[in-house]
Amino acid sequence: MIIGGTTGIGLSAAKSFITEGANIIVVGIDSKSVDQAISKLGQSAEGFAGDATQSKTAIKAIDLALKKFGDFNGMYHVAGGSGREMGDGALHEVTDEGWLKTIELNLSSVFYSNRAALKTFTTLGQSGTILNMTSILGLSPSSKHFATHAYATAKSGIIGLTKSTAAYYASRNIRINALAPSLIDTPMSKRAKANDEIMDFIKSKQPLDGGRIGLPSDLNGAAVFLMSDAAKFITGQVLAIDGGWSLSEGSFK
């Protein structure tokens, strides 16, 4: 199951999982996005429309997986997004609503989906794997162009949730890991892509492969690996897929 699997990073991952032989439930915010995704994914996928910030969404999607495919082995949580338009920003400017909405979208949604998956794995008495989406901003802040402190806090919280639950459930052979991407070409990056100063900064901040913005496909290999049996001895890890972001100071004009 991919929470946030109908667009961007999630949809790209779904295509890769299906290529490797998986059956997929993709969860999107509305029926239109779900229908569009299923038309691209084919018969190996089933869609579910629901809001990831509502606790019952993941539960219902897992039930659909069990009904449709007879099994549920793993979940990749991609859903989240910027809270900038809701009032996120530098901490002294963050509004109460901006804080609550950003945390709800990026951290509470992960709590709900992880809890639902873990309840299912433990109830069925089986192993399973969870892959969460955090952000490089939870590991390596960038103060000038990416000062959204509620978002960074939420993404740091995902790292804590991933590691603490990975430790607890390891003896049950349930693996929990996370990916931490830098700036990726998705709808969320619209503000950055439209700003020449930010894109010039990215050339040095993400110096790999000529200095560029990341692509959703740049995450697919890691996602497939960590969700597969090839990673059966890996848990509690946060893998930065950042084009060198965390190793570079970047440069400003």
Q: What is the percentage of the chain residues whose pLDDT exceeds 70?
A: 99
Give the pLDDT score at 249.
84
Cβ contact 38:94 at 8 Å: no
Residue 145: inside a domain: yes
How many angstroms separate the CA atoms of 89 and 199, rounded? 19
Does any domain span residue 251? no
Would you say residue 245 has pLDDT above 80? yes
Mean pLDDT over 78-100 rounds to 96
Judge whether residue 253 has pLDDT over 70: no
pLDDT at 6 (0 to 100): 97
Catalytic residue of the set 112, 151, 168, 169: 151
Does residue 82 lie within any of the structural domains?
yes
Residue 49: inside a domain: yes
Q: Is the pLDDT of residue 252 over 90?
A: no
Tell me the residue type at 138.
G
Dihedral sign computed on CA atoms, order 16, 115, 57, 9? negative
- What integer is the mean pLDDT of 212-224? 97
pLDDT of amino acid 250? 82
Residue 69 lies inside a defined structural domain of this protein: yes
Strand-pair partners of 76: 2, 131
- pTM for this entry: 0.96
pLDDT tens by residue, 180-199: 999 999 988 889 999 999 99
Contact status, residue 250 vs residue 204, Cβ threshold 8 Å: yes
The total number of structural domains that make up the chain: 1
Here the tokens at position 179 are 């990916």
> Mean pLDDT, to the nearest integer, of 147-166?
98
How many angstroms separate the CA atoms of 61 and 66, rounded?
9
In the block, residue with structure tokens 């740049």: 218
Q: What is the domain range of residue 52? A: 2-245
pLDDT tens profile 46-72: 999 999 999 999 999 999 999 999 999
pLDDT at 187 (0 to 100) = 83
Judged by DSSP in three states, 173 sits in: coil
119, two tokens: 């309840």
Check which CATH number belongs to the domain holding 228 and give it.
Answer: 3.40.50.720
Predicted local distance difference test score (pLDDT) of residue 189:
87
Give phi and psi for 201, each to the nearest 5.
-65, -40
Q: Is residue 253 part of a domain?
A: no
> What distance in Å separates the CA atoms of residue 67 and residue 52, rounded to the nearest whole number?
20
- Clarify whether 168 is annotated catalytic: no
165 is a domain residue: yes
Q: If you average pLDDT over residues 111-132, what whole number do you get?
A: 98
* 166 in a structural domain: yes
Distance of CA 175 to the CA centre of its chain: 16
Neighbours of 196 (CB within 10 A): 9
